[in-house]
Amino acid sequence: MTLHDQNDEIVDAELVEDGELVRAAPAARPLVDAHTVLMPGEEIPTSDDPRTTYTERDLYVSKETEQALKEAEREGSPQRRTAMRLFEAWCAEQGRVAKPCTTATYTEYGRHLMAKGLKVTTIRHYMSLVRTSMPTGKKPDNSLYLTLLAQYRKKNKRALRRKEAFPITLPYLVPMMEKAEADGRPIGWRDSAMFAFGYRFLGRSIEDVDLDLEDVTILDDRVLVWLAEDKTHKGEEQTIPLHDRPDLNLVFRLRRWVGYLAEQGITSGPLFREVLRSGKVATSATRARKGAIKRGDYLRPQTVNERVKLWFATAGLQSDGRPVSSHGLRAGGATDLGISGATDEELWEAGRWKKGSPIPRERYVRPVRDAHRDLFQKVPVHDPEAAVPE
């Protein structure tokens, strides 16, 4: 027997008859990882089953995959970057590890957002962005946080309120486009084309600004838009026809903007781009000097938001108290369709909502109809000179 054999610890043993061989039972191993949450007094869970043994080949990815993952992370949504920046700042204050975070840290951050009195939808959105930002296989368990959120919903009714975007219907959209074009500047051409397109396409702002020139075909009476996928149709490409109409002049407005890009030698890449004060389209080098490198030549969704607010105010328009934003273009198109008699199926198709979704009818159509509905119209107006009924 070697020295190594003599020093080996006997984990378990059993007396057997000569010639029999019995495998020693494995020691109980603790079942804990970064996402295990134990309450005071709880025992550390263990298992008597042997664990699978992995080699380095099972754990590492290639250099090419590493580079692709880094690029995907850099190109993540602005909302996700904002959510993680806030989460990392909070973790630094609390002395906690932000990435990958533990389930306890994730749960505590959820309670922190609730303590600030945020809306339920806002909390769910931020917590989802934080969770999906964690490395693959290291996402925290969200069951405890959801338990707290359910209790928060019951105790904070105001946190359930949500402010929908003001729907920019045609009576608002047309004056905005006319104001944008009034002085004949290229940035106005871009904005009016972008607004007409956003209303007719019924897209989300990020979908609008992520389109390339190669994705759009302008015909005499319509615009064809090719989508590799969207939020509802993952991995399902579509070609969507946008028929023109006299009040939108989509074909003219989009063709004028694309023609202006072609004059500057731009025939591929992002459809909507930044325009400088000089009237020239910003180049990648120009945007890099300004620090706008994450989106490259692609316009930021926030820029669309800012331009919508600008031209809404410039046109002297007023909302009903709901916030004016770029989402109002999508809301406006859906509202106009709904109050004009579009069926649920037609709304789902136009806005590429999932079939059965109540969103277009409940958020965009019903509020408008309810606003013009007054049950007390059935009651005659009181005439003080009329005889008092006996």
State whether residue 217 is helix, strand or coil: strand
CATH 1.10.443.10 fits 170-371, yes or no: yes
**Using an 8 Å Cβ cutoff, are 47 and 25 in contact?**
no
CA Rg, the chain, in Å? 30
pLDDT above 80: residue 186: yes
The structural domains of the chain, with segments of one domain joined by +, span: 78-160, 170-371
- Measure the CA–CA gap between 71 and 50, rounded to whole angstroms: 38
pLDDT the model gives residue 190 = 96
Between CA 57 and CA 62, with CA 60 as vertex, the angle to 5 degrees is: 105
- Measure the CA–CA gap between 302 and 277, rounded to whole angstroms: 19
**Using an 8 Å Cβ cutoff, are 329 and 308 in contact?**
yes
- Measure the CA–CA gap between 81 and 74, rounded to whole angstroms: 9
SS3 letters across 302-369 = HHHHHHHHHHHHHCCCCCCCCCCCCHHHHHHHHHHHHHCCCCHHHHHHHHCCCCCCCHHHHHHHHHHH
CA-nearest of 88, 74, 22 to 296 is 74
**Using an 8 Å Cβ cutoff, are 231 and 203 in contact?**
no
**Using an 8 Å Cβ cutoff, are 205 and 327 in contact?**
yes
H or E element that contains 71: helix 63-74
pLDDT the model gives residue 137 = 82
Q: From residue 361, how far is each of 9, 243, 340, 346, 381 by CA, in Å?
A: 70, 23, 12, 11, 33
State whether residue 54 is helix, strand or coil: coil
- Only one residue has tokens 């302008």, namely 218
Q: Specify the higher pLDDT residue, 322 or 90.
A: 90
Q: What is the mean pLDDT of residues 98-126?
A: 92
Predicted confidence (pLDDT) per residue in 349-361, tens digit: 888 888 888 888 8
**Using an 8 Å Cβ cutoff, are 87 and 109 in contact?**
yes
**Using an 8 Å Cβ cutoff, are 103 and 36 in contact?**
yes
Q: Confidence class of residue 117 from pLDDT cuts 50, 70 and 90?
A: confident
282 — alpha (psi -120 to 50), left (phi > 0) or beta?
beta
Mean pLDDT over each residue of the chain, to the nearest integer:
83
Q: Up-side HSE of residue 74: CA atoms within 13 Å toward CB?
A: 11
Cis previous bond, 384, omega within 30: no
Q: Specify the higher pLDDT residue, 221 or 76.
A: 221
Tell me which amino acid residue 171 is.
P
Predicted confidence (pLDDT) per residue in 211-266, tens digit: 999 999 999 999 999 988 777 767 778 899 999 999 999 999 999 999 999 999 99
- Measure the CA–CA gap between 348 and 332, rounded to whole angstroms: 15
Q: How far apart are the first and last CA of the chain?
A: 118
Residues in the chain: 390
Q: Is 27 exposed, middle or buried (0-12, 13-18, 19+ CB in 10 A)?
A: exposed
pLDDT above 70: residue 315: yes
Across-strand partners of 275? 281
Number of H helices and E strands in the chain, helices first, is: 17, 5
Q: Confidence class of residue 371 from pLDDT cuts 50, 70 and 90?
A: low
Q: From residue 215, how far is each of 114, 126, 223, 227, 282 by CA, in Å?
A: 42, 31, 10, 7, 21
**Least reliable range by pLDDT among 14-28, 155-169, 358-372:** 14-28
pLDDT the model gives residue 75 = 62
Tell me which amino acid residue 99 is.
K
Q: Specify the higher pLDDT residue, 317 or 58.
A: 317
Topology classification of domain 78-160: DNA polymerase; domain 1 (1.10.150)
- Measure the CA–CA gap between 320 and 368, rounded to whole angstroms: 11
State whether residue 67 is helix, strand or coil: helix
Predicted confidence (pLDDT) per residue in 215-226, tens digit: 999 999 999 999
**Using an 8 Å Cβ cutoff, are 191 and 350 in contact?**
no
